[in-house]
């Protein structure tokens, strides 16, 4: 799904919700554990329940990698099941250079057929540019994250320019809004106005809404642009809204609630 198709999908669905598939095996409802592939079976039901109320899915690869080969198989089946109707983010947070980066790009773009992958830019442009060789694919660069210890590095810099701002300014030069997005945490809503002055047209992937305490309204106050320009991710508050046999019903209800809030914002 390319830049224009993503915008069209958001406008058609009138929401910008991304459902995070952080599928923790220990939280999968007991009645699914007897299935051949509990992780995929759980994801399949979550996708069926939420497909109409979101525009993107974000599998966090750690939850699949930790299961070994079977986890990778579950992840591939999940991506295939989502198909091309939704924007798919491989939340892998890769960040190596040279041949290694090229292989990571091949893994997620050629073999797994994801639309985007999250990247740590600490090693500079060499860690990012191999991914930009792929047409209609996105690199999502970690800029200002939602975790508490983001302050350990991301706010430091020279000449009153924090590191996260340097990251955005520098990486914007490697591509454009059609192949680069930035991660900006919902728990830092005061930063969105400044970030929009630096990157007015780029999409921002926004974690931290829901369980981590961020709010849709706070993010949208300064984060929206003329094409919406936001993918707000919600993981646990949707997929683990219930851990019982009604989990997909509760997931649907939670996704609907977020989608309705976003629709009101778009229409106002």
Q: Looking at the annotation, which residues are catalytic?
A: 93
Percent of the chain with pLDDT over 90: 88
Can you spell out the DSSP letters for 21-71?
E---GGGS-GGGTTSS-HHHHHHHHHHHHHGGG-SEEEEBTHHHHTTTHHH
Digit-coded pLDDT (tens) for 201-238: 999 999 988 777 788 999 999 999 999 999 999 999 99
Please give the CATH architecture assigned to the domain spanning 3-267: Alpha-Beta Barrel (3.20)
Is residue 29's pLDDT more than 80?
A: yes
Does residue 155 carry a pLDDT above 90? no
Q: Name the helix (H) or strand (E) containing 11.
A: helix 3-13
Whether residue 167 is predicted with pLDDT greater than 90 in this model: the reply is: yes
The rounded Cα 233 to chain-centroid distance in angstroms is 6
d(CA 170, CA 182): 12
Contact 205, 192 (CB under 8 A): no
């Amino acid at each position: 799904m390319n830049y224009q198709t993503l915008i069209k999908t958001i406008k058609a669905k009138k929401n910008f919700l991304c459902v995070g598939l952080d599928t923790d095996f220990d939280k999968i409802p007991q009645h699914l554990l007897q299935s051949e592939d509990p992780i995929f079976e759980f994801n399949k039901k979550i996708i069926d329940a939420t497909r109409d109320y979101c525009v993107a899915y974000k599998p966090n690869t750690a939850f699949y990698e930790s299961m070994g080969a079977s986890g990778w198989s579950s992840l591939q089946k999940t991506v295939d099941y989502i198909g091309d109707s939704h924007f798919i983010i491989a939340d892998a947070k890769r960040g190596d250079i040279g041949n290694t980066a090229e292989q990571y790009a091949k893994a997620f773009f050629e073999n797994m057929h994801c639309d985007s992958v999250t990247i740590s830019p600490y090693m500079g442009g060499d860690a990012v540019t191999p991914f930009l060789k792929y047409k209609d694919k996105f690199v999502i660069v970690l800029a200002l994250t939602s975790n508490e210890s983001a302050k350990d590095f991301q706010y430091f810099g020279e000449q009153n320019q924090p590191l996260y701002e340097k990251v955005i300014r520098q990486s914007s030069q490697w591509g454009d809004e059609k192949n680069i997005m930035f991660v900006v945490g919902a728990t830092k809503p005061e930063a969105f106005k400044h970030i929009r002055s630096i990157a007015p047209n780029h999409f921002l992937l926004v974690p931290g809404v829901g369980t981590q305490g961020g709010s849709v309204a706070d993010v949208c106050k300064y984060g929206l642009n003329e094409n919406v320009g936001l993918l707000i991710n919600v993981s646990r508050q949707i997929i683990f809204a219930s851990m019982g046999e009604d989990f997909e019903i509760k997931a649907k209800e939670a996704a609907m609630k977020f989608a309705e809030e976003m629709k009101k914002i778009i229409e106002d």
